[in-house]
Structure 1
Amino acid sequence: MFQSQSWAVLVTLAVVGLTAGAGGVTAMQADDGGSDMNLQVETPTDDNETQQENPDSVSDGEYSDETAAWLARTMGSQLENSSIALSNQQYDRARSVLGDDYDERLEQYVEVAGDTSSETDDTAAREFEAARGNQQNFTNEVQRYRQQYAAYQAARENGNEREARITARAMERTAANISDSSQRLNRNFEQIENTTSVDLSNGQGEINETTENITATQSAVREETLVGTTLTVQAIDQTASFSDPGTISGQIQTENGSVIADEPVELRVGNRTRTVQTDSNGTFETQYRPRSVGLGPQSVPVEYIPSADSVYLTDNASFTITVQQVTPDVTNDISPEAVGYGDRLDVSVSVAVNSTGVSDIPVEFLVGDAVVARTTTGPNGTVTAAVQVPASVDDGDRQVVARIPYQDRAIAGSQSEHPVVVVETETTLSVSASRTDNGIVARGQLQTAAGDPVADRPVQIQAGDGEAQVVETTQNGSFQTVVADPQTGESVTVTATYTEPRSNLGNATATATVAAGTGGGNPPVGSGSDRDILIDTLLGILFGSDENPGIGFGNGVIGYSWLPVLGGGLALIVVGASWFVVARFNQTQDTDTTASVETADPPSTEPDKPPTILDDAGPTFEERIETYLDSGNYDAATVLAYTAVHDELVTKNGIDEGTTHWELLRESREHGVPEDQVADIETVVEAFEMAAFAPTSVEPSRAQAAVERAQDFQADSR
């Protein structure tokens, strides 16, 4: 070890000494009027306006208006260039133009917008961000459509009419997405033009031309492959309830006036799909049995859903009917009758109206005040769930509540209760402590008496009489925190305490002692830090340093002109001295020892580290939705649709992020969301209930409806 370190010092100083000699010659040339390499590059100007690419260098709002204008023009040009590249079918180029550089400019614009004199810059920043996302979606959908069109042409050339119809129907959906994206993008561009001096007319022209071309192409595809339809529906009864459903009738005509007769057809009435049979006149009848819809007069949407390979196109209509409420019978059962923390509790519920099971109804299970499960009733109106008893349920005699979280719906909100005994579970707590320069590090773990980890519980840590801190346990029950060191020079007792007044977990306490004068402080003599300091000092003597510029060669004490002569000899002298001194320090280090910290308990397992989050944009919402639908993963598509609506409401309407899906619907009304958007939210929420909690997968048509309503909601919200 000694030899390798000494040779490292030798080689380092020898090389640096030779480099210094060369540097001295260069310095002499500079002193003698040689070329100056410190060139300055001027920032290019634009119409004599102040340019500033880095807002951090603009202090106290200086030139903020000019900077914001330049950034807006830059991002506007990028948006237009993306539109032009897309019109030329350069898809990668269209996406890359709005890549990292656009993100950087947008980040700068957001920062500068806060310092400008205009209040509209904040609005423009949001529009620039939305425009980037909509432009990327627009690009992806246009590329998808052109790929589908190529597949459609190939199918027709090969005489595969069925495949051509399937592809043509998929193109219908893509063309509709393109139209929606185009409208949103045009609104973004108009808002940017209204709030900045940027002219985006060229970009809008490219977008509109691309959209018009695809619309015309799809019209031709529709004309040669598909047949349009017209759906008409009307309510025969004036009222409807679950116990007394209303009858509706309708007819499906083709665009040439003929009817779809004597065929089974699929309809989506409200948010439920059913198959009905048309008669020889093309008419049908079916019953409307409301569940989750609101009370009073309601406009109920109806959609004709042709099969994937059908020649017919879809169509929509609606009927109006007055919805009346019924109260269901709710009964529940549990097993076992007594449980403790983490124990399995089997809960079941039955929801019925006049002995008829009510399917697809959301049910929440609570133990005490804690919601422990959410699910949906099955076809016969029953459902069973297995839950774990959380720590937040207080011990003692409690009630297991099964409730329908409805209010002012066709099915009334109702609940039933079943008694359960929650027993207290004993806990154990361990803690260890050590001193550092930043304070006292306390580590430990909270477990049950049986050795099971207890996660997400608060543990209080206190060093001596200092201020207590509260830290939450991780998934393996461990915790770690740093508390202030009293700095008394004496031993310190660190106390860890777990106590929750309203919990089924017992209290626990543990202590650890940090010995006097242990831990922290400076490194011992002879450590690696001393070797670093020694070498830095020698280099400083040789070349000068920021702290002691007066001792270096280049400051005039020994002129640069002498350096080529003295460099070699002096370097050898310094190398020899450093080799000797470092060797002595190494020998000293081998005989030195450092004090260790004693604790009452052995160190516990380190707490879990948070997962690494990859900064990868990944596929867009539309791409993921399309992938799920194409692969038949309708549950995933529905959950993703709900997530998009949830996030939009949380961001735009200030709804709490932790609300349940039914609370989300209720609070949407309370926050003044327009009724047509509330209807979209309701469709998505009900489909999500099925996808997330029902024992069977959500129906394809219902998933498709949720996706479309989510897209409509997002479009209306922008």
Structure 2
Amino acid sequence: MNDVVVRCITVVLVVSFVLLAGVTGAVPAVSTSSTEGLVLAQADNSSENVTPRHQNPDEYSSAGDDDELAKWLTEHLDNRLGDSSVALEEGEYEMASEYLDDEYYERVEQYVEITGDTDGIDDIATEDEPDSETRSAYLTAAEEQDTLTSLVGQYNETKSEYETARDGSEPERAHDLARELESLTGEIEETSTRAIEQYEFLTEETGSDYTDTIDSIDNTKAAIQEEQAGVRSEQFVDTELVLDPATERASFENPLRVRGEIRAADDSTPSYDGLNITVEDHPVPVQTYENGTFTFEYRPTVEPVAADSLSVQYTPAIETRYVGTETSIPISLEQTELDVAITEQTSTAAYNETLSVSGTATAANQSVDELPVTVRLGGEPVGTTTVENGSFSKQIAVPATVPDGDQPVSVSFEPTDRALSTATANGSVTIEETATELDLEAEWTNQSDIRIDGRLVTTDGVGIEGQSIDLEIDGITGETVSTDEDGAIATTVSPSDPTQSVTVSGTYDGSDTNLDHARDEATVAPAGTDEDGVEFPSTPVLVGLGGTVFALAVGLVWWIRRRKPDETDERGDRFRDPAVSSPADSTAVAQTRVNSTLERATDQLTDDRTDAAVRNCYTAVRDAQQSILETDHVSALTHWEFYHRYRANVDDATSLQTVMEAYERAAFTTDSVSRQEAKAVLEAAHRLCFPESVSFEDDSEPAATTDD
């Protein structure tokens, strides 16, 4: 289209706008929040008829098939977690993290939405409880898996530095790095345990088999432990903690008294300077003696009375060559009475103001330490704090849910059957009522619906969260909406008679709270008019104007195209954009990624992990086509959409179909791909990614093409 066409069409559009503006007059403004509400409503409506991306179209024809989609999402999440653990075991740290990318977390949320809206595979999520245990397990498993990947990567990097320092005659640096490796090993062991706990929970909740995933994590942990055993033998000396309690019976009033010593495997004597002994992870004061022994006392507090043993740990100083150790001692606990007292507190407070409470905790005339206590206001828990050296102090913001008037304040140690008894200290505070304001706005979003926006605030303008606003439409009771974290509400209503003015009112009654009531109302003119009652043009008028504009535009284009070639703008060719070629380095990066993926597939085939090999073959083909076609749309397609879209771009459509069919079996069914079939898929993937590659021998595995 030349400059003449552009100028003509511009003129038509400007004239059309003037005509429309003249007929319609003032157009009512639509607020940003109202626009957002429309967008959300459209998104919600459209989602009902859209098939989610990457779901198997042969199994799920629409989003209404929620049970099947939930099953597919479960398998998808299982595969992502499993592939990540396998990649970690194989030392592919970057790949292990990529399996748990943003798409994984999006799929988790989609899974929760699907299983929350239907009686899905485990019926664990509801609209009132979206943060379900299963959702939490999927998220935590991924986080622990990602943390484990990071820790193992750090370990191997530090191990390399350690070996360099050791071989380079840097004994002090090698020792420090060995101690860091010891710490990383402990973190890896703990993270592995937490990750496996999540996988075991998911197995129970979803019925998925995480045996291979757990085995991969165990293998990764075992490999690190084996490597660290070698480091430990080079740098450290093992120790043994020998303990002799005076008696098994103990209580807070009559503490446990223990004598002990630390023995080294090489019969050397560890230094007791700064000796670090902990009981159940609580440090205890230690008295050392010249004969190589030490003593300590321990006053139990939160331990269950039924406990029959206590864990004791020895942690050597970082600069020493000794390794820490742990043991347990038998115990028989008796309960001691606890006394909690409030010594100071706020006497008067209102909504969102700070309420302070301080006090003491003692038992058997001794100050209690590291004791968790709960603070309650009006009988409801509002916070927790920890007793330190016999004292506690807590500041809390007064919530709206506590009614105004005199309310009880309490601080208590609540667990039962512990070494210390339950105990409560009581006080009182006066809660004052806080004035509130409700601001309501309403406007038509179309010819039948009214958008209602509002905000409940204090007189200082602070939004009030979680409060119910009762709406009425022309005096008829409507819905009840709840304020968000900013005190705002937003909803849409449909009046019975849009041709009349509509009055919307909102009421906040403030019952059972410390907030005063509030009310506001808003009136909108009849639909199709502005605020002054001027009627907007009817739909037929607008359609007629639109048709006239369209006819003018079509006629103009027809007239221009009938002009002789020599009447066109001779300057047109000079302003055409030249073709832009893709940078060569991006192609090289893509080829490297394809090579890496095919190498991984080859290794997986060698290990008889045929399904994983096939999935990686499909990934390599997809990445190769994305690079060749210079597009970023390939990853948004399902495998069959990808096949139908791009089979014309490959010389060997049969090979492409082979990869797609095998991928469908590997990704969407319980039937594993045979080794022979997987080998054929790997060969087909090579032909598609590298058309010039040679054929393979019958008994050989294909090798990935490398960059020269």
The TM-score by the shorter chain falls in which range? 0.5 to 0.7
Residue equivalent to 1:568: 561
Residue equivalent to 1:436: 445
Q: Distance in 2 between matches of 1:199 and 1:335?
A: 55
Among 378, 381, 394, the alignment partner of 1:371 is 381
Q: Given residue 470 of structure 1, which amino acid in structure 2 is its aligned partner?
A: T
Contact 2:442–2:504 (8 Å) recurs in 1: yes
Residue equivalent to 2:694: none
Among 128, 149, 154, the alignment partner of 2:159 is 149
**Cα distance 1:421–1:301, how it changes in 2: closer, same or farther (>3 A)?**
same
**Cα distance 1:375–1:4, how it changes in 2: closer, same or farther (>3 A)?**
farther
Q: Given residue 441 of structure 1, which amino acid in structure 2 is its aligned partner?
A: R
Deviation digits for residues 381-406 of structure 1 (CA, Å, limit 9, x no counterpart): 11222333222111222221122222
**Cα distance 1:137–1:528, how it changes in 2: closer, same or farther (>3 A)?**
farther
Residue equivalent to 1:230: 240
Cα drift, residue 298 of structure 1: 2.7
Cα drift, residue 58 of structure 1: 2.5
Cα drift, residue 461 of structure 1: 1.6
Q: Given residue 397 of structure 1, which amino acid in structure 2 is its aligned partner?
A: D
Residue equivalent to 1:495: 505
Residue equivalent to 1:360: 370
Among 495, 517, 530, the alignment partner of 1:485 is 495
Q: Distance in 1 between matches of 2:108 and 2:346?
A: 58
**SS in structure 1 at match of 2:253:** coil
Residue equivalent to 1:305: 315
Residue equivalent to 1:397: 406
Q: Distance in 1 between matches of 2:516 and 2:78?
A: 59
| Bigger mean CA deviation after superposition, 401-410 or 513-522 | 513-522
| Bigger mean CA deviation after superposition, 407-416 or 465-474 | 465-474
**SS in structure 2 at match of 1:55:** coil
Cα drift, residue 411 of structure 1: 1.7
**SS in structure 2 at match of 1:411:** coil
Cα drift, residue 230 of structure 1: 0.8
**Cα distance 1:538–1:7, how it changes in 2: closer, same or farther (>3 A)?**
closer
Cα drift, residue 222 of structure 1: 1.0
Cα drift, residue 225 of structure 1: 0.7
Deviation digits for residues 516-558 of structure 1 (CA, Å, limit 9, x no counterpart): 4455997668999876655556778999xxxxxxxxxxxxxxx
Q: Distance in 2 between matches of 1:522 and 1:353?
A: 80
Contact 1:73–1:198 (8 Å) recurs in 2: no
What does 1:252-401 align with in structure 2 at a 5 Å threshold?
252-260=262-270, 262-379=272-389, 381-401=390-410
**Cα distance 1:350–1:97, how it changes in 2: closer, same or farther (>3 A)?**
closer
Contact 1:259–1:281 (8 Å) recurs in 2: no
Residue equivalent to 2:609: none
Q: Distance in 2 between matches of 1:101 and 1:464?
A: 47
Contact 2:12–2:553 (8 Å) recurs in 1: no
Q: Given residue 92 of structure 1, which amino acid in structure 2 is its aligned partner?
A: E
Determine whether 1:92 maps to 2:94.
Answer: yes
**Cα distance 1:370–1:533, how it changes in 2: closer, same or farther (>3 A)?**
farther
**SS in structure 2 at match of 1:307:** coil
**Cα distance 1:275–1:330, how it changes in 2: closer, same or farther (>3 A)?**
closer
Q: Given residue 418 of structure 1, which amino acid in structure 2 is its aligned partner?
A: G
Contact 1:456–1:472 (8 Å) recurs in 2: yes
Deviation digits for residues 617-662 of structure 1 (CA, Å, limit 9, x no counterpart): xxxxxxxxxxxxxxxxxxxxxxxxxxxxxxxxxxxxxxxxxxxxxx
Deviation digits for residues 163-214 of structure 1 (CA, Å, limit 9, x no counterpart): 322321221243355567778789979x99xx9999979x97x988876654
Q: Distance in 2 between matches of 1:353 and 1:198?
A: 48
**SS in structure 1 at match of 2:562:** helix
Cα drift, residue 317 of structure 1: 0.4
Contact 1:80–1:200 (8 Å) recurs in 2: no
What does 1:118-157 align with in structure 2 at a 5 Å threshold?
136=146, 139-157=149-167
Among 405, 409, 418, the alignment partner of 2:427 is 418
Among 465, 469, 474, the alignment partner of 1:459 is 469
Deviation digits for residues 494-520 of structure 1 (CA, Å, limit 9, x no counterpart): 211111321121222222222344559
Residue equivalent to 1:55: 56
Contact 1:461–1:468 (8 Å) recurs in 2: yes
Q: Distance in 2 between matches of 1:419 and 1:77?
A: 54
Cα drift, residue 297 of structure 1: 4.2
Q: Distance in 2 between matches of 1:296 and 1:279?
A: 33
Q: Distance in 1 between matches of 2:260 and 2:383?
A: 41
**SS in structure 2 at match of 1:397:** strand
**Cα distance 1:353–1:77, how it changes in 2: closer, same or farther (>3 A)?**
closer
Contact 1:466–1:486 (8 Å) recurs in 2: no
Q: Given residue 386 of structure 1, which amino acid in structure 2 is its aligned partner?
A: Q
Cα drift, residue 480 of structure 1: 2.8
**Cα distance 1:316–1:241, how it changes in 2: closer, same or farther (>3 A)?**
same
Cα drift, residue 446 of structure 1: 2.5
Contact 1:299–1:321 (8 Å) recurs in 2: yes
Contact 1:240–1:323 (8 Å) recurs in 2: yes
Q: Distance in 2 between matches of 1:83 and 1:358?
A: 48
**SS in structure 1 at match of 2:561:** helix
Determine whether 1:242 maps to 2:235.
Answer: no
Cα drift, residue 286 of structure 1: 0.9
Deviation digits for residues 466-507 of structure 1 (CA, Å, limit 9, x no counterpart): 442222234443333223323253222221111132112122
Contact 1:75–1:105 (8 Å) recurs in 2: no
Q: Output the aligned Cα RMSD.
A: 5.3
Cα drift, residue 238 of structure 1: 2.7
Residue equivalent to 1:471: 481
Contact 2:438–2:456 (8 Å) recurs in 1: yes
Contact 2:354–2:396 (8 Å) recurs in 1: yes
Residue equivalent to 1:165: 175
Residue equivalent to 1:8: 9
Runs of 5+ consecutive residues of structure 2 not aligned to the other structure: 14-52, 125-134, 566-708
Contact 1:253–1:282 (8 Å) recurs in 2: no
Cα drift, residue 260 of structure 1: 3.1
Q: Distance in 1 between matches of 2:92 and 2:402?
A: 59
Residue equivalent to 2:606: none
TM-score, with length taken from structure 2: 0.58
Cα drift, residue 110 of structure 1: 11
**SS in structure 2 at match of 1:316:** strand
Q: Given residue 423 of structure 2, which amino acid in structure 1 is its aligned partner?
A: S
Give the percent of matched residue pairs that are identical in Structure 1 and Structure 2: 25
Q: Distance in 1 between matches of 2:137 and 2:354?
A: 50
**Cα distance 1:234–1:196, how it changes in 2: closer, same or farther (>3 A)?**
same
**Cα distance 1:279–1:487, how it changes in 2: closer, same or farther (>3 A)?**
same
**SS in structure 1 at match of 2:507:** strand
Runs of 5+ consecutive residues of structure 1 not aligned to the other structure: 13-51, 544-562, 573-718
Contact 2:309–2:331 (8 Å) recurs in 1: yes
Q: Distance in 2 between matches of 1:92 and 1:263?
A: 44
**Cα distance 1:252–1:335, how it changes in 2: closer, same or farther (>3 A)?**
closer
Q: Given residue 425 of structure 2, which amino acid in structure 1 is its aligned partner?
A: S
Q: Distance in 2 between matches of 1:403 and 1:147?
A: 48
**Cα distance 1:336–1:435, how it changes in 2: closer, same or farther (>3 A)?**
same
Determine whether 1:507 maps to 2:517.
Answer: yes
Contact 1:440–1:482 (8 Å) recurs in 2: yes
Cα drift, residue 296 of structure 1: 3.3
Contact 1:155–1:164 (8 Å) recurs in 2: yes
Contact 2:505–2:519 (8 Å) recurs in 1: yes
Cα drift, residue 234 of structure 1: 3.5
**SS in structure 2 at match of 1:445:** strand
Contact 2:352–2:398 (8 Å) recurs in 1: yes
**SS in structure 2 at match of 1:221:** helix
Deviation digits for residues 48-86 of structure 1 (CA, Å, limit 9, x no counterpart): xxxx97424425899x99x999x9799879967984786
